[in-house]
Amino acid sequence: MSFTRTETQRTTQNSRRAGDQELPTATARRTTTNSTGSAPARSSAGNRPPNPPSGPSGPPGPPNPDPDDNDDGDGNGNGNGDSDSNDHDDDDHDLRGDLANAIAALANSVARPRTQHSKVREPDQFDGSDSRKLRSFLVQCQLNFNDRVTAFASDKAKVNYVLSFLKGTALDWFEPALLRIQEGGFPPAWFDNYSAFVSELRTNFGPHDPVGDAEADIEALRMRDTQRITKYIVEFNRLSSQLEWNNSALCHQYYKGLPSRIKDDISRVGKPKTFVEMRKLSQSIDARYWERRSEVSRESSSHQKSEASSSKSNPDKKKASSSHSSSSKPSAKSSSSNSNPKQKSTQSSSSSNLSTKLTKDGKITDRERQRRMDNNLCLYCGGSGHNAKDCHKASNAKARAAKASKPEGKSDSSDTSKKS
């Protein structure tokens, strides 16, 4: 009875193994089933040979049951197939382990993406010559700090970065302390404290009275009539950010700096009570103004183009207009020549003066001669400071008279030879 039960269990196990589809990882650990239906040999068992027959001449006895297959853990050899289930569990465990390792290897083989940073422009170098540029310089440095938080996690990294963009007098101020640190000296307080470093910069290279300077600049700020309002607002906000003015003071000062073309439109609708409303209203008025300027420019250009096209299509009209303009030129000249009464009066007065000083034959009168002698004037031209002998007008007149009386056809060389 025990033999039949053992044989039945062994047959059931063999059929179960033959029907199962083996995993690739377990194939190397198993062998093929023999033709007689005996139990497959295991690689772990060292390819154990089949059981010998029960006797020399008798029929083969029942196969010797495999203790590994029938043992249920209690050592009695009465297993119920648990060892086969353990084999499948081991195979599944190996498969899952191989899959996990493959996934981990794939994850490690994929390149880790590089961290992307926005391209923030580096600050302009600061030399300390213009105290008004320190504020914008520090703002540019702060933008780089915000873009690379990890690189500038410490105050010492920030201080080194700002120092690298100093030059001229500003760098010379920190040079002795940096050299002492290099030689092993004690570092100053601002070396690893960014707030103390900024305070050192502002104390030595910033405005002496930033609030007072901002007040003076904002009171003198004016928007030009040909300027757009955006630039005025930016400058006004920059200066007002340094002041502690209330809303009414800002609104009053902002309105004061606007041009007349914007003030005129504000007067039609009334002044806003807040600075924000005043700014929005002025922006709207300025935008409409420049929009209208653009419309007028386009209309004038289109009108000129239409006139040019019409003149090309009507050449007779163009000729008529040109002839009209040419005919009007002489009249303009004549009118310009006749419309100079001051010159006429000057000429008439000079001629009347000469008539009182000269006789009919062109000589000066005795009265005029006496007047010139009394006043020590030139008897020829009536000028002061010289006499008739040295008068250049008299010499010029004599030269002209001599040239006019010279006979025609004779050269100057013949005259000079005759004189000699």
pLDDT tens for residues 350-391?
A: 455 555 666 766 677 777 887 888 777 887 777 777 777 778
- Position 374 scores a pLDDT of 78
Q: Are 147 and 120 in contact (CB under 8 A)?
A: yes
Confidence of residue 120 (pLDDT cuts 50, 70, 90): confident
- Position 2 scores a pLDDT of 43
Tokens found for residue 369? 């001669």
Half-sphere exposure of 414 (CA within 13 A, CB side): 6
Residue 245 pLDDT greater than 90, yes or no: yes
- Name the CA dihedral angle for 179, 183, 186, 187, rounded to a multiple of 10 degrees: 40
In tens, the pLDDT along 130-171 reads 988 999 999 999 999 999 999 999 999 999 999 999 999 999
Q: What is the pTM of this model?
A: 0.42
Identify the residue with better confidence: 109 or 22: 109
Rounded CA gap, 52 and 61, in Å? 8
Residue 259 pLDDT greater than 70, yes or no: yes
Q: How far is CA 17 from CA 136, 229, 294, 382, in A?
A: 83, 91, 93, 153
- Position 124 scores a pLDDT of 92
Q: What is the mean pLDDT of residues 30-36?
A: 44
